[in-house]
Structure 1
Amino acid sequence: MPSYRVRIEVGALRAGTTPETVLPAGADAAAALTTVEARDVELRGGRARIVVRFTAADDVDAHLAARAVHGAVEALAHVGLPELTSRHGNRWVPVR
């Protein structure tokens, strides 16, 4: 199965949210739909982004998983738009 990755910039946390709950919530949302391969937090330009890598049968299923991750994280924090990419060899290519 193809490998996909969704990155989401995370801003201010919503009331009652602790930082350590955000990444697991996103990964769990993806895991409810597909197999999660990895999860991580990145810092880019002083801003935090969560990264969830997962498998999906096709781009349609990958978009569903990415939306689930986005929705779960958005319930906990102010977020940016999801950036969905698929792996082609050693490159990550944007999914339209």
Structure 2
Amino acid sequence: MPSYRAVLQITGLRPGHPPERVMEAAQEALGSRHLVEASQLDVVRGVPQITLRFLVEAASDDDETAAAWASALAMHEAVDEVATTGRLRVLRQRRGKWVPV
């Protein structure tokens, strides 16, 4: 099964939501569609971002990429309910490297 990463910038919390709710919302949304293998929080150039690595059911490259993007967008929507967000990126692992799709 192909491995993907959804990387989402977090620019702030919405009132009434604790910080841990951001990752919970992301994992719940993505986990309802695919197996989430790992998650992490990083700060890149002063901007927090969450990264979730997940597997997509094998199909054609176009179908796999479409499924990965649809799931990443669903994750973005879920996180947007608890936090303000920035850029969303989706990457696919190819030959040991993470390539934007």
Q: TM-score range by the shorter chain?
A: over 0.9
Q: CA RMSD in A?
A: 0.8
Match of 1:66 among 72, 78, 81: 72
Match of 1:93 in 2: 99
TM-score by length of 2: 0.90
Q: Aligned-pair distance for 1:81?
A: 2.5
Match of 2:35 in 1: 35
Q: Aligned-pair distance for 1:71?
A: 0.6
- Within 2, Cα distance between the matches of 1:69 and 1:52? 10
- Within 1, Cα distance between the matches of 2:9 and 2:75? 12
Structure 1, residues 59-82: CA drift from partner, whole Å, max 9, x if none?
Answer: 111011101110111111110131
Q: Aligned-pair distance for 1:40?
A: 0.6
Q: Which amino acid aligns with 1:48?
A: P
Q: Aligned-pair distance for 1:36?
A: 0.5
- Within 1, Cα distance between the matches of 2:12 and 2:67? 29
Aligned positions, number: 95
TM-score by length of 1: 0.94
Matched, 1:48 2:54: no
Report which of the two structures shows the higher radius of gyration computed on alpha carbons: 2
The percent of aligned pairs where both chains have the same amino acid is 34
